[in-house]
Structure formats: C-alpha cells, structure tokens
Structure 1
C-alpha cells in the first residue's frame, strides 16, 4: 500500500509535467562543511580515476586530470593530490566533534568510490593506502540505514520528490533536476531527452570516447617531445573538464534545492547526526591505534555488522515515525501504525492498590498489521505502551483492546474522544552496543554446527522397539 502512494505521486507528476514533493520535512542531514567529490573513470578501467573534482558546498571545483590512468605513476600522482584535501577535512571534522559528509552524483558514483576504497587501501604506497582508508569510512557507512556520511545527490532528491519517469531513470541526476525545475514553455519529455545526453555517472559517453578522447590519448603516447606531450595532456584535461564540471555543478544544484527553507526541520535527523559523529570518532581512533582494515570480514565481525545494520533499520524507522509526518502517514497506510479514536478506558481492580487498565480503540484502517501480544507505544505525548489483547472487526471499524504497560497513571486520566497513534517503541541507539556485546560473548563459544568437532554421543535411555515401523505407525 505504501508503494501505491508513490505511484499516485508519480501519476500527478506525469500529469503536471513537473516533479511532485512527497515530503514536507528534510530527509537527510546537510552539513555546512560537506564536500562534493566527482570522479570519472576510464572506460574498461573501473578502478581508475581519470579525472576528479573536489570542493565544498557553494565552492568552485578543484579539478584534477591525468592523461592516462593506466600509467600507474601518473594515477598515483593524482591520488596524492587528493590525499591532503581529505586529511585536512577529516581532521577539521574530528576537531569539531562532527563527521565528514561526501556528496556524489548518483548510486553508480557511490559504488565506484566504495570500490576504489577497497582497492587503494591494499596498495604498496603508504599515501595511497591512507587515502583508501579515509574513503573506506564513507564506503562502509553507505549501506547502513540512516547513515549521513556518503550521500548520492540523486538518492537524496528521490527521498523528497516523485517524477513522471521510471525510478531507474531518476538515477540520472540532470534528468531528475529537469523534472524538479522544468524549463518554461518546453515539453518536459524533450527537455529530459536533452538532459540525458549529458553524462552524470562515472563514465564518459562512448561516442565521445571513440571520436575525441581515445585519439587524444593515442597522440599523447605517440608524442616525441615533452612539449608535444604537454600539449596533448592539456587537450585531454580540457575534454574531461567539460565532462566533469557539469556533474559537479548538478550535485551543487541538488544540495541547494535540498537546503531551501521550504523543507521543515526533521528532529529525527539529530539522532542520526549524533550517531554518525560517534561512528566517525570510533573509526578514526581505530586507525590511530593501528588496527588493520581487512579485505574480508571474519565470521564474527561479519555477524556483528549484520546485527548492527538490522538494529539501525529498526531505530531509523522508529525515529522517523515519531518525527516525520510523511513516514507517519505511510505507516498508517501500510498498517504498521495504529491510528484510532479512544472510546473507553477500562479499569480492573486486581487487589489492594493494584489496578490494570485497558484502552479500547476504534480504527477505520483496512490493512492493520496487528496480532495479539504485540506491544505498541504512543507516538506523541506521554510515554505509554499497550499490549494488544483483542482485535475485532465490526463493519467498517476495527476494535482494538490493549492492556496498558508503561504509563498507567496517564491512562487512568484519559477520557474517550481523542485520536491516538500507536507504533513501535522509541529508537534505542545505545541498545546497539549492548546487543553487540551480548553477541560477542555468545560468539566466543561457537556451537558445534560451526566447528569441526562433533558433539559427544547422547544415546536415548528408552529401549529400542522390536519393530520400528510399527512403533512409528502407532504414533499416528
């Protein structure tokens, strides 16, 4: 049902020939000191950097280009120029007690940076290895729910807008921006088609490669003098600057759109920013202490990362349901949030000064995902929880009865009439550390199913039946 809301928004965008906002609150943290990193790789060389553009929000790009990234020394020279920029940025973030935030153009650029980080941190060059380690922080955080360290501009815009094109087409940043800010007096599809001609990923256009870039690289290798070689290198730089600067500019434009005052503050993002700062400090402290970043996680480390990611998903969803109005409405439509009218409070006297309270709620929702025994918490106001004891459908209404757990004094003072909303408990970010500590203790003694030694035989004390088949048939 939540997808139906998105489909409806896309239909509205298609009808109006303009992207439709799907939220009113900002969905990502935008650091004032965030940096934009745009990388271009050579065709067929996925782990190369042919050109790089770097700069802060609202700043002009500093562009670095290498004539041919297949020449290892030239490639490393380019990366060495990037290292002090990131060292200084990470150092400033750490001193301020905050976290670094890197913006890229699309999911493809995000994956390219992650791949580069894996490759660079295992090179022989200490400086290149250091750059790979710094990039690894952003790469390892990218798949974690609610992370704010590595943001793709297309992904951030998609959290705020729905367009009239397919979701996969939204990954092209310039077409997405065209839907958000369509040119006046021009057909939207013609404008989008024109925008698609501009590369917005990490690869250049194949026709551009064959007609312009590859001949220039060939001329660079065939040059007989330093002057000729420098001339062709300058040609290549101008060509690639014409490709990389529009991508950098589009990323800047995406950040400026998301920074507009039309987006209201989202208190849920405060907790995410705090978590990111803590994760960054732990990562950098581990590097200072000399801990090695492995290429493959051990089974224990892998299990703990999976557990942490699962808890992050739960905490992010719980936080958004409390502070994000769009997430709340999606929860109501999907049935994970109970929205209903309080029709009564039932008091049960169990003994001297011992009372229990039941809340009786009626809801118009058609797709409630509730079962007896579920624990729900009041999303607004007092700290109150209920355990579902009865669910009954009566005509267009669903009658839900819940036994009050936390907040009995509040429940006692409640009167029939108000509309209440219940959902999962509040996010428990410190609980992630406690869960990982318990898992670490359990993993110190792995079960026999994860080892080579078999458990000792434990024969049954019962006598073996004379006829096994008859004994089994008697069981049925």
Structure 2
C-alpha cells in the first residue's frame, strides 16, 4: 500500500530540485571507529578484488591494486594485505566490548562483499580463509533487520531523505548525494545525469574497461609472458593502478560524504538504536566465541540451522518494528497513515463486574483512519504511557469514523487512567528480545528428529483404520446426501 508521506515528499523534492528529509531522528548508528571499505571487481570476475580502498571515518584511504586478479597469486597478495587491517580492527572491538562496523557505497557493493566472504572461506590459503571468516560476520548480519555491522551508504541515506527520482535510481550513491546537496545554479536533472555517469558500485564502467583498463592489463600480461625487464613490468603495474584509482577514490569519497551527512547535529538521537547497538555487540561476541571454539562456518546451512536463521530474521523484523514505533516519531506517523497503527480517541471506558472480585474493562474507541488493518481478536498495545494491551472485539465504519470495541487484557490496574476524549496510539507489543532464545529451545526439541521432507527417505504410510467400502462412489454420495 502506498506511503502517502513518501509520495508527497517525492513530489516536493521534484518540484524544489532537492531531496526532502523524511525524519528528524537518526536511523542508523555510526561507530566512530568504523571502517569505510571500497572494493572493485574485474568485469566478468564477480568474486575478484581488482582494487581496494580502506580507511577510518574522515581519513584518507589506503589503496592497493592487483594488476590482474585472475592471477591467483597476485589476488592472494592483495587479500593478505587486507587481512592484518581487519584482524587488528576486530581484536580492538572485541577487547572494547563493542562490534566492528563496515561501510560500503551501495547495495551492489554490499552484495559483492557478501559473495567474497562466502568464497574466500573455502580457498586453499589459510590467511585468505581467515579474512573470509571475518568478513562473514558482516555478510551474515546484513539481512537481519536492525543490524548495525554492515551499512550501505545509499541505503542509510534513503532512510533519511526522499529524492525526486525513482527508488531504483536512489541506489546510485552519486545521484543520491546530488539530490541531497545539489550544485548551485545548475538544473538538478542535468546534475543527476552527470553524476550517474560515474560508477558508484563494485564495477567499473564498460567503456572505461574497453578503452583504458583492458589494454593496460593486456600490456602487463604481455610483458610478463615475454619476460620483460622489471622496470617495464612495474611501469604497466603502476599504469593500471593510476587508472583504477581514478575510479575507486570518488566512490570512497562519496561514502565518506554520506557518513558526514548522517553524522551532522541536525539528526536527533533515536532511543531505538541504543538497544540495537547492545544487541550487535552481543552478536559479535557470540560470533567470535564460536570461532575460538573451532566451529566452522558452512557454505550452506543444514535444515536445522536454516530454520533457526529464518526464525531469527522474522523475530528481528517484529522486534525492530515494535521498537521503532515506540521511539521513532516519523515512523509512527507513517504507520498511522498506512493503518498499521491505530490512533483512536476513547469514547467509552466501562468497568464491568463479571462476578465477585472479577472485573473487565471495556473500551469504545473512535478513529478518523479509513485504512485500518484490524480484525476481531487482534491484540494491540499502547505505544506510550499508560502501558496496557487491548483485544479487538469489533470494528465498524460509520460515516467518517471507525468505531472499535475492545477489552483490556493486560494492564487492568492502569486502564482506568485512559481518559474519555484523550487520543492514544495502539500498535504491536513491546519488543521481546529474549523470546528468540526461548523459541530456539523449543525448535531444538522439535527438530531432534529430522522431518521426512529434508531426508532421503519417504514418509511412512499411515495405517488404515476400519474396513474400506466396497463401493467408494456410493459411500461418498451417502456422505454428501446425493444419490446415484
């Protein structure tokens, strides 16, 4: 269902020629010690690293290039150059009781990083394996809602701004930054078209590859094949590095610019992030403890591990939504617009005596919302004080109002504090971060015996009960009241 807030903001951005902020509160946590990582792959070699730029927030990058990543030894030398930088960083975070954070430019760069983490763990070089194992922490956390370990700069900006271009085009970090900070005196669409011509992902431009990079790589390989002098080989190597630096430096700089925008004082603190930071530190500690204990990271999960991860992702989404609606004002207003949150005024609050010492609070709520997603039996909790939970009994539309009948099921002692005429927001229950551990325990018991759907055998035939009818059609007709 359309988000009216985003639609209006996108139209306003297109009219004004500048991106529109859609929140006042910070949507992502930024670690002061985070690393900005930019990786470039060779065209047609999605699991390669042709060039890398790495540095802390606000610092110039350290850049390394391999002339031809298809040469395994050269590729491994580049990866070994990266290993100590990540080993020391992870060790520092672990000693401080926090977690590492890596920033990449876009979703494409994030996918490239995740793919590399999977592949590098299964190479025949121990040092490269260790790098892949460390990277796997960010790769495995990236699909988890609310994770703070691996950030895409484009996605983080999109959580704060709306531009006047389609969603898919917002994935290009250069155009996104142009909308947020447009050049003075220039048409915004012309500026965006200029920015779009510069690569901002994990791949170089095809025209650049054909006209500049491929000839330089070919010259380098020819020099090696002909046993040319070391000076000539080094000349071709430096030529390739200079060409790739013209591509990788702007991507690194754009990522740093995005972080600087998100670090400004204009963004108010978001209490929901504090819990997410604590959770991330706990997840990182568990990850490193498992590596110390010798547990290996498989390329593919077994059914039991896969089921656990699916449940973990579902719980993360539910908990993040619940936490966000309580602490993020913008998210709550948007949820009210879509009907995910009930904003209603108390019109009746009756205390009904069911039997001696047994009472029930019954509420009648009225709302102007016409897009409510409510059904009888749904349970909603107040998003602010007083804290209580209601069960929906009925929903009826009368003219411009929706009338909701409900019963208080939790918080009976404070339900009397709901004042007639006051408006309250109702939504999902408070996040229960500990529920995942309990559900994992229940699943472990249930999955001790592997289901037949995940094994090579077939299900055991069910035992027949009673004597089968001699005339099956007649037996069916007699059950349905039909006759031949």
Relative to the length of structure 2, the TM-score reads 0.96
Of 185-194 and 411-420, the range deviating more from structure 2:
411-420
Residues 413-472 of structure 1, C-alpha deviations (whole Å, 9 max, x = no match): 3320111110010111111111111111100023455552543642223x4444322221
> What does residue 60 of structure 2 align with?
60
- Does 2:408 correspond to 1:408? no
> What does residue 25 of structure 2 align with?
25
Q: Give the direction of change, closer, same or farther, for the CA distance of 1:40–1:456 in structure 2 (3 Å limit).
A: closer
Gaps of 5+ in 2: none
> What does residue 161 of structure 1 align with?
161
> What does residue 381 of structure 1 align with?
385
> What does residue 333 of structure 2 align with?
329
> What does residue 302 of structure 1 align with?
306
1:314 Cα deviation after fit? 0.6
Of 242-251 and 220-229, the range deviating more from structure 2:
220-229
> What does residue 133 of structure 1 align with?
133
- Does 2:157 correspond to 1:152? no
Aligned residues: 475
Residues 122-177 of structure 1, C-alpha deviations (whole Å, 9 max, x = no match): 01110000000000110111111111111110111111111111111111111110
Distance 1:286 1:472 in 2: 59
> What does residue 70 of structure 1 align with?
70
Residues 206-237 of structure 1, C-alpha deviations (whole Å, 9 max, x = no match): 22112221222222223310011111111111
> What does residue 79 of structure 1 align with?
79
Distance 2:454 2:193 in 1: 55
Report if the CA contact (8 A) 2:3-2:338 is conserved: no
> What does residue 185 of structure 1 align with?
185
Q: Give the direction of change, closer, same or farther, for the CA distance of 1:457–1:190 in structure 2 (3 Å limit).
A: closer
> What does residue 260 of structure 1 align with?
264
- Does 2:7 correspond to 1:3? no
Distance 1:22 1:6 in 2: 8
Of 104-113 and 342-351, the range deviating more from structure 2:
342-351
> What does residue 426 of structure 2 align with?
422
Report if the CA contact (8 A) 1:145-1:313 is conserved: yes
- Does 2:250 correspond to 1:246? yes
Secondary structure of 2:299 counterpart: coil
Q: Give the direction of change, closer, same or farther, for the CA distance of 1:180–1:454 in structure 2 (3 Å limit).
A: closer
After TM superposition, list the pairs within 5 Å mapping 1:183-332 onto structure 2. Answer: 183-223=183-223, 224-332=228-336
> What does residue 363 of structure 1 align with?
367
> What does residue 455 of structure 1 align with?
460
Query: Which of 394, 397, 401 is the aligned partner of 2:398?
Result: 394
1:243 Cα deviation after fit? 0.9
Distance 2:217 2:397 in 1: 72
Q: Give the direction of change, closer, same or farther, for the CA distance of 1:454–1:193 in structure 2 (3 Å limit).
A: closer
After TM superposition, list the pairs within 5 Å mapping 1:85-100 onto structure 2. Answer: 85-100=85-100
Report if the CA contact (8 A) 2:137-2:284 is conserved: yes
Gaps of 5+ in 1: none
Distance 2:166 2:453 in 1: 46
Residues 16-71 of structure 1, C-alpha deviations (whole Å, 9 max, x = no match): 11111111111111111111000011111111111000001111100011111111
Secondary structure of 2:351 counterpart: strand
Report if the CA contact (8 A) 2:20-2:163 is conserved: yes
Report if the CA contact (8 A) 1:2-1:333 is conserved: no
- Does 2:112 correspond to 1:108? no
Q: Give the direction of change, closer, same or farther, for the CA distance of 1:130–1:405 in structure 2 (3 Å limit).
A: same
Distance 1:17 1:31 in 2: 32
Secondary structure of 1:253 counterpart: helix
Secondary structure of 1:361 counterpart: strand
1:6 Cα deviation after fit? 1.9
Secondary structure of 1:472 counterpart: helix
Q: Give the direction of change, closer, same or farther, for the CA distance of 1:448–1:107 in structure 2 (3 Å limit).
A: closer
Of 386-395 and 247-256, the range deviating more from structure 2:
386-395
1:382 Cα deviation after fit? 2.3
Secondary structure of 1:405 counterpart: strand
- Does 2:38 correspond to 1:38? yes
Q: Give the direction of change, closer, same or farther, for the CA distance of 1:358–1:141 in structure 2 (3 Å limit).
A: same
Report if the CA contact (8 A) 1:376-1:385 is conserved: yes
Report if the CA contact (8 A) 1:340-1:363 is conserved: yes
Distance 1:447 1:84 in 2: 44
CA RMSD, Structure 1 to Structure 2 (Å): 1.3
> What does residue 443 of structure 1 align with?
447
1:352 Cα deviation after fit? 2.2
Relative to the length of structure 1, the TM-score reads 0.97
Residues 243-278 of structure 1, C-alpha deviations (whole Å, 9 max, x = no match): 111100000000000111111111111111111111
